[in-house]
């Protein structure tokens, strides 16, 4: 069990930090939990499932967009509006792909993320494709999480290695 307030770990359950009694804990990734740390507990199967699932969702989304296109054709709104809708979805998908891909490398700014919510909603196919392509290489966001986790471990090791004794039991010079 992990203690949220102190950041300590109970190593009896085989937690990711097995062998360490205290220290930083890895942040879980969507669909992967903390299996990305040691690539265990079905990590490869999860990556395959994530890649297949995101590709299937992108294909299904494209079918839905095709039905929307056919609806526009049936409505006979004109070629300009049809072209405008197609270009809008293409541009929003490209921007969503780029933004999603970038979030795998660095943490997004929450204010910018909130302002792009509509664009990411319209360009959902691009986000799904970014998730698919990243799943082929690693768990989406794993590289960023690993860098942050290893930096936290190094900082924790540096902090704890300096303390060799309990400072409250130190003798006062008399």
Site of tokens 């205290």: 22
Q: What is the CA radius of gyration of the chain?
A: 24
CB count within 10 Å of CB 75 equals 10
The pLDDT tens digits for 111-120 are 999 999 999 9
Contact between 12 and 1 under an 8 Å Cβ cutoff? The reply is no
CB count within 10 Å of CB 91 equals 14
Please tell me the predicted confidence (pLDDT) of residue 159. 83
Rounded-to-integer distance, Cα 84 and Cα 59, Å? 22
- Name the helix (H) or strand (E) containing 114: helix 110-115
- Name the helix (H) or strand (E) containing 8: strand 8-9
CA distances 45 to 41, 53, 135, Å, are 9, 12, 11
pTM of the model: 0.75
pLDDT band at 9 (very low <50, low <70, confident <90, very high): very low
pLDDT band at 67 (very low <50, low <70, confident <90, very high): very high
């Amino acid at each position: 069990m992990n203690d949220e307030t102190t950041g300590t770990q109970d190593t009896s359950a085989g937690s990711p930090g097995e062998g360490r009694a205290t220290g930083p804990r890895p942040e879980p990734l969507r669909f992967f939990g903390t299996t990305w740390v040691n690539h265990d507990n079905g990590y490869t199967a999860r990556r395959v499932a994530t890649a297949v699932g995101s590709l299937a969702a992108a294909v299904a989304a494209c079918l839905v967009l095709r039905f929307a296109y056919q609806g526009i054709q049936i409505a006979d709104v004109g070629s300009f509006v049809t072209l405008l809708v197609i270009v809008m979805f293409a541009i929003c998908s490209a921007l969503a792909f780029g933004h999603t891909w970038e979030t795998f490398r660095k943490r997004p700014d929450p204010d910018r993320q909130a302002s792009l919510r509509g664009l990411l909603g319209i360009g959902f196919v691009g986000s799904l494709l970014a998730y698919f392509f990243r799943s082929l290489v690693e768990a989406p966001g794993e590289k960023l999480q690993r860098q942050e986790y290893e930096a936290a471990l190094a900082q924790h090791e540096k902090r704890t290695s300096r303390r060799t004794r309990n400072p409250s039991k130190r003798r006062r010079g008399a």
